[in-house]
């Protein structure tokens, strides 16, 4: 039987796969903290919204084979999944986007507070992604 916190995380990724940015934001605390591998910390829904819009512009990604892990109190969660993506628009100083496809194993960690996601920390192997998009 799924806990409320597990349902929350599964709903977050269901909305992610649907490209439903506003729906994802509904699941976040106003002061959400967002950490991404090799990136800077973002604070608040507005910063998270800007990040999601940027990602939507540069990438098309889908989560597959999602596994959600919970702690007994449901305050901390972890997820692991395969991320299948396509690099659509060049992202800053990254290599040129030419529609390259990639697949990464991703780990994500969450803090849950009052039924909302208060922290999202996402981790993946950046060098593996760079190798995959370097292929033509």
Closest CA to 133 of 88, 66, 83, 77: 88
Q: Class of 4-134 per CATH?
A: alpha beta
| pLDDT tens per residue, range 64-122 | 999 999 988 889 999 999 999 999 999 998 999 999 999 999 999 999 999 999 999 99
Which pLDDT value is given to residue 136? 56
Question: What token pair was written down for 79?
Answer: 């997820």
Which of 10-14, 35-39, 101-105, 123-127 shows the lowest per-residue confidence on average (mean pLDDT)?
A: 35-39
| pLDDT tens per residue, range 72-87 | 888 999 999 999 999 9
User: Where do we find the tokens 């892990």?
Assistant: 69
Q: What pTM does this model have? A: 0.94
Q: CA-to-CA distance for 26 and 11, rounded, in angstroms?
A: 11
């Amino acid at each position: 039987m799924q806990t409320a916190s597990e349902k929350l995380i599964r709903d977050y990724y269901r909305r992610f796969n649907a490209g439903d940015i506003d729906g994802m934001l509904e699941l976040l605390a106003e002061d959400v903290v967002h950490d991404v591998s090799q990136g800077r910390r973002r604070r608040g829904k507005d910063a998270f919204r800007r990040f999601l819009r940027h990602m939507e512009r540069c990438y098309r990604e889908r989560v597959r084979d999602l596994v959600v892990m919970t702690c007994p109190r449901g305050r901390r969660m972890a997820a692991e999944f395969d991320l299948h993506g396509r690099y659509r628009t060049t992202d800053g100083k990254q290599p040129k986007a030419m529609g390259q496809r990639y697949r990464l194993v991703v780990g994500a960690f969450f803090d849950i507070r009052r039924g909302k996601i208060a922290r999202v920390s996402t981790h993946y192997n950046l060098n593996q992604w760079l190798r995959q998009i370097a292929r033509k």
